[in-house]
């Protein structure tokens, strides 16, 4: 490639790869219309193995959040996590798991002393911040309905007991 100076294995530039000027990398044409540009996204180390990706001969994939990772490292990571190892956004469709969590929460109501307890959360998926009902099984973002959240603060009568 004249732009990045890297020769990727395959049929060639314009056939199975295109050069993204924002990412500054050659990317497979199969994701040309859907990939999210992150400037110099391969000009870094793989978040799993630590190898520099720009000159690596190993296949690199672009996750749905736009970050890049070696294909083999991605496959290994997805066996144990559904989140990007860099930004923590969900990488898989978690709809079924989140619906199952909804049912589990309905079937396990909080004890009376904690029913009015709320939690302020930061959502890893939509980056929103909201206050939601507290439940020990999970905290659901009221903006995008994801359980991929981080508890920032607990509010209410039961908050002292929960924090100890």
At a CB cut-off of 8 Å and minimum separation 6, what does 91 contact? 63, 64, 65, 78, 82, 83, 84
d(CA 17, CA 26): 6
Residue 63 shares a structural domain with residue 5: yes
Residue 108 shares a structural domain with residue 51: no
d(CA 59, CA 71): 6
Q: What is the C-alpha R_g of the chain?
A: 21
Residue 78 shares a structural domain with residue 118: no
* Domain containing residue 152: CATH number: 2.20.28.10
Q: For 105-149, what is each residue's pLDDT tens digit?
A: 999 999 999 999 999 999 999 999 999 999 999 999 999 999 999
Range of the domain at 14: 1-92
Using DSSP, state whether 93 is helix, strand or coil: coil
Q: For 40-54, what is each residue's pLDDT tens digit?
A: 778 899 999 999 998
Residue 85 shares a structural domain with residue 112: no
């Amino acid at each position: 490639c004249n732009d990045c100076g890297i020769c990727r294995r395959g049929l060639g530039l314009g056939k199975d790869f295109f050069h993204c000027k924002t990412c500054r990398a050659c990317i497979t044409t199969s994701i040309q219309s859907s990939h999210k540009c992150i400037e110099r996204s391969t000009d870094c180390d793989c978040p799993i193995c630590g190898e520099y990706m720009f000159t690596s001969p190993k296949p690199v994939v672009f996750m749905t959040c736009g970050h890049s990772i070696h294909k083999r490292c991605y496959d290994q990571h997805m066996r144990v996590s559904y989140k990007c190892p860099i930004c923590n956004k969900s990488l898989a469709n978690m709809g079924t798991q989140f619906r199952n969590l909804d049912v589990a929460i309905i079937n396990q109501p909080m004890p009376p002393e904690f029913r009015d307890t709320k939690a302020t959360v930061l959502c890893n998926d939509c980056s929103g911040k909201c206050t939601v009902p507290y439940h020990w099984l999970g905290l659901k973002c009221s903006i995008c309905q994801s359980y991929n959240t981080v508890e920032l603060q607990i509010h209410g009568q039961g908050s002292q007991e929960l924090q100890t």
